[in-house]
């Protein structure tokens, strides 16, 4: 029974942290005139900065997917791949982020293609 409580706690922590990140993003969207692209870049760079300071790994250890799934988690992943690659040399510093993010990007492309085959996109009516 204890493993079920641990699993439930893991879900609650992931939901709380992921929800907090999304809530901050929603406040930024509602209270500023920043475009979606700029907000995306700000959140991705915040993940890079927190990883550079050594803080994002603590968030990931606490919240798991709640911290790695949002866009700031993608920035964290790129920075971590670059840091690990830089330990091997300059070439790996460039290819490290690409190899670290390759599985997620590949999955996004494949699933996007499959859903494009299944569903018919419609234009929004203004």
Q: Structurally, how many domains does the chain consist of?
A: 1
Q: pLDDT tens-digit profile of 62-79?
A: 998 888 888 888 899 889
Question: Is residue 125 in a domain?
Answer: no
Interatomic CA distance for residues 4 and 58, integer angstroms: 23
Sole residue written with tokens 């890079």 = 48
Question: Is residue 22 in a domain?
Answer: yes
Question: Is residue 126 in a domain?
Answer: no
Interatomic CA distance for residues 27 and 77, integer angstroms: 24
Question: Is residue 63 in a domain?
Answer: yes
Which stretches within 53-89 are classed as H helix?
56-63, 65-68, 71-86
* pTM for this entry: 0.76
Identify the domain containing residue 108 by its residue range.
Answer: 2-118
Interatomic CA distance for residues 53 and 47, integer angstroms: 10
Which residue would you say has higher pLDDT here, 1 or 123? 1
Give helix then strand counts, H and E, for the chain: 6, 0
The yes-or-no verdict on residue 58 having pLDDT over 90 is yes
The yes-or-no verdict on residue 52 having pLDDT over 70 is yes
Question: Is residue 124 in a domain?
Answer: no
């Amino acid at each position: 029974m204890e493993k079920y409580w641990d699993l439930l706690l893991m879900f609650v922590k992931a939901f709380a942290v992921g929800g907090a990140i999304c809530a901050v993003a929603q406040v930024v969207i509602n209270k500023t005139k920043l475009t979606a692209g700029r907000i995306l870049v700000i959140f991705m760079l915040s993940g890079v900065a927190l990883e550079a300071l050594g803080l994002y790994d603590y968030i990931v250890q606490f919240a798991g997917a709640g911290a790695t799934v949002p866009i700031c988690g993608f920035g964290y992943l790129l920075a971590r791949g670059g840091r690990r690659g830089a330990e091997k040399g300059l070439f790996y510093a460039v290819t490290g982020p690409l190899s670290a993010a390759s599985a997620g990007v590949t999955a996004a492309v494949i699933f996007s293609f499959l859903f494009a085959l299944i569903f018919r996109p419609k234009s929004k009516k203004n």
